[in-house]
Every structure is written in structure tokens, then in C-alpha cells.
Amino acid sequence: MATELAAVPPPDTGDTGPLAPGTSFSLPRRFWNDYVFVKVRKAVFVVFVVANVTFFLGRAMPGDPIDVMAGRLTQGGMSMNEARAIAMNSLAYDVDAPLYQQWWDFFVGLVTLDLGSTINRPGLSVTEAIGAYLPWTLFSIGVGTLIAITLGLTLGMIMAYRRNKAIDHVLSVLASVLGAIPNYLIAMLLVVGGGMYLGWFNPIELRGTLSPGVESGFTLTFIGDAFYHAALPIITYVLAIIGTWMLVMKASTTEVLGEDYVTVARARGLRDRRIATAYVGRNAVLPLVAQIAISFGTLVGGAIFVEQVLVYKGVGGLLLDAVNYRDYPLLQGLLIIITSCVVIANLVSDLLYSRLDPRIQK
Amino acid sequence: MSPVNDLPATPDTDDGALLSVRGIDVGYRTGRKSHVIAAHEVSFDLHPGQSMALVGESGCGKTTLGLGLLRLLPRTGVIPRGQILFRRKDGVRVDVRTLEKEELRRFRWNEAAMVFQGAMNAFNPVLRVQDHFLDTFRAHENGRRRSRKEILEHSAELLEMVRLDPARVLTAFPHELSGGMRQRSLIALALALKPQLLILDEPTTALDLLTQRSIVERLTELREQLSFSMLFITHDLGLAAELADRVGTMYAGRLIETGTTRDIFHRARHPYTSALIDSVLPVVGDLRVPTPLPGGPPGLHTLPEGCPFAPRCAHALTDCATTRPALDVLTPRDRGLSHTAACLRSTDSELHAEGAPR
């Protein structure tokens, strides 16, 4: 055991080659130290910590769900004791249970994806509520991020190749301005400017996630309608983050353009297109991959405001409701799920990075 | 000792030279209309099979000149005048300075390849060595598309030429190779298209002595085998003496002395060349105290009116501060092997008496 302990490299560095002396070859050990598994392990740990924070924060706040529900019932003329009894019956939640018991139940529920029932929406479990709203948010943010990154990287590269030319100056100013406007302001500008003054679209009609009468399913009408209603949020998200991506990509590309291997590639007589993609582009994107997750996380946070402004029925409105009505189970569930989404985005970008950069891993 | 000053004004006659550099300036733009000249009025001829070393201190314009010859200067680089005549494999003589984009792309590596400093990361870190070979061959294909297998077999042969194990190196990423292996891989890559000219910019700098040794041996061997011409840029005089049959000394962006290796190392006529040689310890013979050359080269903006070396020169006359000497032919020879020097006292018998201590 002692030798095995000594053989385990520190988990973070992992720079010992495959034949480094003392490396254990046992299969479980290798799996444990596998790059992907290490990353997944860390992601799970982060979610665990966040779940704990939400759990204890919920309990540390004054009042509990029973009090809140009972309080609302008494407003209807019920006596406090009666109201408490009803509240305790309708909520699968025992206030008097010891904290460790609650903690255990909470985490068992979490693992089985049973996050309890909502307080404000009777008969609807937290999982169902989130399941009904989260996909729309992830859809609009996902598409927005994808478009913003694709466009931002392309424009950033053009700026770097044409630096100090007119196009670079124009795009730089545009990117700085866009980067400085908060996303909910962009949403307002879109609705007020594009919808009301210029009359390009009818903002009332665009509200919600689907037009009335459209059935969900894998049909062209459904997908088309989903995009139609998500257009404003998507445009908002694109405009909100594209500026940053342009500027960061410009800086990164400019740096790579000064690298020796680019000069050598030119000396080798490679075609400009090949140099721009495989030599400049790929290396310039590498340090930015980690920022995809950051971008995504920022957007999820900003979605609360944007969805409110654009009346898009995503998870943002749900979160606001949960806070307003002190729907603690829903709030807990939402925070955990939203954090998990960002953690997963982080994990994906980490794994993507290791695929793109051969110097990572091994 | 004829003072025939025909070098900078060579008429455009084809005397069989592979590369004829005619009075080129190479510089960098510093503003909308201004530029500094880092290599000034450089002229020389390189004949097939010759190996010429360009020596000088750091910042004397060697690398700028080397990059300029392939028009590989950074964005701000300019070649405001002169000609870079090159006889292509098809026998056509072209001026590299005015080649069009696509022609230039096809010219590079196929006619003239370049090996960069040993410390440089010449390989794209995210591509395997074999991808570099594939890219290079594919970029210079003429009509017939060779299969991947064919190219990789050819690449393996090239790597074997520089004594590398193709099985291990081809599939490796650059960071998995040592500096010496990377440098040898780059040499293999440089020879892939059988270029007529190989420009080497400090090929052994930043490599340890043993690796330097093996690189030099490989290059000597390869040159015998493949008979390409070489132009190498170095501040390592030992390397110059060993690999070159001709040497050109550069100072403040100017070629100030050219000649055969024998001319330069035994009968240097420019005080700067002598000083350069005196600052290096001899490997054989009596150990003398190396004489350092005080001061540094002048800035490009503040060149003295006369000889640029005059302020540091121990033998400067009053004329040296006002008259800029031209490159005079001291011993005329053909095939660009003439001994020339740009010094007012290059024929001064007092300074260059036979057997006089340098």
C-alpha cells in the first residue's frame, strides 16, 4: 500500500510520462487518473459544493417553506395551527427533522433527480417545472453563444489580419461599444428601437416561447416557430458577447501571427488559406476555448433580466418567481441545475481543449 | 590589388550565378512615409554549389537580409530597391523582389528553403511532424496528386537522411522532440523539395555543443550528397570557417568585406573582420588573449557620415570620418569569389604587412 501511495502522482500535474518510474499500471488506478475522469470528478465536486451552499443558505434564511405556505393560507382566514397542519401535509418536508436527516434526504433526492415539490405551483414537482422552462433558456443561449462565437472569431481574425486598416478600426469601435452595453439594455433597445420605432417586427407577437396552437414535436413548423420566438433573445445574446469575442480573438490572432511557425509556414510556400486555418486560426482559438464556458455562464446569469424584458418563458422568469414567492425548493433546484449547466459547459470546454491541444494530457 | 570598383554596379549579365543580389536595401516602415534601412545596398553573387557565410554582430542586418531574400519580412518590412535575381530550376531567371504572390509562393521552399534558428519553434505545436511534410508537399504539387502513403514514405526517407527514426518522429508532435531533433527535422523538411538554395539563419544557436556538432556534420554530408548552395547567417566564426567556402562580413547593414574563407580568416583586410576574428579563441596553436572589440554597432538612424566602423576602429584616419569607402576589389576572381573590402586602408601595406601581428 505504501509503495502504491508513493506511486500515485499528484492529481493536478500528471506530467509524468507513461513510462515514468514508479507509475502504477493497475487498471482502476489508471482510470482514476485518466484526464477525462479527473475533469469529471472535479465537476461533480463543484456541483456537490454548490448543492451544499444552496442547502445551508436555504436553511439559514429566516422562515421555511412551511411558514411561508402557512402564512399564505392564514391570509385566507385559516387559523395558524390548521394552516401549518395543511402545509405540512401538502409538502413532503419535515421542519422538525434533524439537519443531518434533511441533508441526507436532500442529497438522496438530488441523486435520484427528485428535487421535491414546488410551493407556489401546486402539483408540480421542481424537476417538472425546471424541465418545462430550462430547455428554452438553454436553446436560446446555446444558439446565441454558437452564433456569437462563430461570428466573433471570424471577425476577430479579419481584424488581426487587417490590423490598423479601416475595417479594423471600425470593427474595434463597434466591438468595444457592444461589449460595454449590458445585455438587458440591448434587449430593451431591440424592442423599443426595432419593434416600436422602426416597426421591423411586432414585439407582442414575439412574446413567449411558442405561438398558440403550435404542438411540440420534431416538425418544421415547431422548429421554425421556436426560432421565431427565440430570435430576440438570441440576437440579444449575440450582441451582448460578440464584442468581447472579437477583441479577444484579434489579440490572440495578432500574437500567433508573430509566431515563428507562421513565418516558417509562409517560407514553406503553403497557401494562405491553409496557414490561416491550421496554423493561425487553430492556435489562436486554443486559449479561448476555456472562455466559451465563461461566456455561457455569464449569459445564463444575464438571462433572468433578458427573458424578463423580452417576455420569453425561460428559466429566468421561473427563478424570479421562486425568489418572489420564496419557493425554496424551486430556488434550490434552479440554482443547482443552472450551476450544473455552467459546470458542464466548463467540462465540455476542458475536454474540447484537450482534444485540440496535443500538449495537454498524457 | 586592382582598384576596379565594379561590384555594386554589375551590369545585368547572366554569368551562371544561382543568386545575384544587386544593390538591395532591406528595411522596415516606421511611419506612413518613413522607413529605416537595416541592410543597405547589398550586392553579391552566389554560384551553384557554393556555400557562403554572412557573419557579423547581432543587429547588423544579417537576419533581415536573409528574410528579405525570400520576402519573409514581417508586415512592416520593405525592400525599396535593388534586384534579387534567381535562376529557377526551369532555367528562367526571376527577380524575387517583384514576383507575384502565387509565383512567390511556388518559389519558396521549392527553389530556396530556409532553416531558422535552433531555438525557434518552427513547427506548428498542434500538428504532427508528418502533417508538416504533408502540407509542404501538397502545397507544391503540380497536377499529379500523390497519395498520403507515398508522401509519408518520401518523408521517412528524408528523416533518415538526417539520422532520425521516422517511425518515432513522423507521428510525434513537436513538443515531444528535443531541440536537436526538431532542428534536424526542419532540415529534412527544408530539403524535401530539393531546393537549389538553402538559407540557414543561425542554424545551431541555442543548441548544445554535441547537437551543434551533429547538425554541422549532417549539413556537410547532405551538401556533398545533394549539392545545393548554402547561404548561412551566423555569428559563430568557427561554424563559418567549417561550413563555408566564402564569407561576407556585415557591419551596420553593409557588406564590408567578402572573400574566400582563406581570404577572410588569413588575410582579412577590413579592421572589423580582423577584430571579429581576434575576439574568438583559437582552437589550435598558441593560446592568445582574445581581444574584445569595445563599443557596439551604430544605430540605424545615427550612422556616421564616413565609414560606419570608424568610431570603433583602432586604425581610423581622419579621412575615415568623412569618406564612406566603397567595396573595392582586392583580388579579382570569377564566380563571385573576389576578395573585396570597404576600407580606405585596405591596400595600406603598413597595416597589412606580411606576418605583421594583427
User: Is B125–A266 a contact, with Cβ atoms under 8 angstroms apart?
Assistant: no
Residue of chain A whose Cα is closest to the Cα of B66:
A267
Residues in chain A, overall count: 362
Mean pLDDT (chain A, rounded)? 81
The CA–CA distances, whole Å, from A137 to A235, A327, A341, B147 equal 13, 20, 11, 48
CA A287, CA A182: separation in Å to the nearest integer?
25
A122 belongs to a structural domain: no
Confidence class for position B131, pLDDT limits 50, 70, 90 = very high
CA B242, CA A334: separation in Å to the nearest integer?
74
pLDDT, residue B203, reads: 84
Q: Is the CB of residue A282 less than 8 Å away from at least one CB of chain B?
A: yes
Best residue of A264, A266, A359 to probe chain B, by most B CBs closer than 10 Å: A264
**Residues A97 and A233 placed together within one structural domain of the fold:** no
pLDDT, residue A23, reads: 52
B217 belongs to a structural domain: no
pLDDT, residue B205, reads: 78
pLDDT digits (tens, 9 = 90+) for B28-37: 988 888 888 8
CATH of residue B50: 3.40.50.300
A1 belongs to a structural domain: no
Q: Which residues of A touch B109 (CB under 8 A)?
A: 267-269
User: Is A268–B70 a contact, with Cβ atoms under 8 angstroms apart?
Assistant: no
DSSP for A246-298, please give it: HHHHHHHHHHHHTSHHHHHHHHTT--HHHIIIIIIIHHHHGGGHHHHHHHHHH
User: Is A269–B136 a contact, with Cβ atoms under 8 angstroms apart?
Assistant: yes
User: Is B173–A359 a contact, with Cβ atoms under 8 angstroms apart?
Assistant: yes
DSSP structural state of residue A241: H
ipTM: 0.86
A119 belongs to a structural domain: no
At residue B93, what is the residue type? R
Rg (CA), chain B: 21
Give me the domain span that covers residue B320.
Answer: 1-7+17-101+233-352
B257 belongs to a structural domain: yes
Q: Which among A16, A20, A358, A12 is positioned nearest to B176, based on CA atoms?
A: A358
Best residue of A260, A263, A268, A354 to probe chain B, by most B CBs closer than 10 Å: A268
Percent pLDDT > 90 in chain A is 23
A120 belongs to a structural domain: no
**Residues A233 and A316 placed together within one structural domain of the fold:** yes
**Helix B129-139 with B148-161: angle, nearest 10 deg:** 110
Cell 501511495 belongs to residue: A5
For chain A, the domain total comes to 2
> What is the number of alpha carbons within 13 Å of residue A263 lying toward its C-beta?
21
A239 belongs to a structural domain: yes
State the count of interchain CB pairs (< 8 A) between A and B.
76
Q: Which residues of B touch A265 (CB under 8 A)?
A: 124, 135
pTM of the model: 0.80
For chain B, the domain total comes to 1
pLDDT digits (tens, 9 = 90+) for A122-176: 778 888 888 888 888 889 998 999 999 999 999 999 999 998 889 999 999 999 9
Give me the domain span that covers residue A269.
Answer: 127-356
B74 belongs to a structural domain: yes
pLDDT digits (tens, 9 = 90+) for B70-102: 999 988 889 998 999 999 988 888 999 999 999
User: Is B175–A358 a contact, with Cβ atoms under 8 angstroms apart?
Assistant: yes
Q: Which three cell numbers stand for residue A173?
A: 469601435
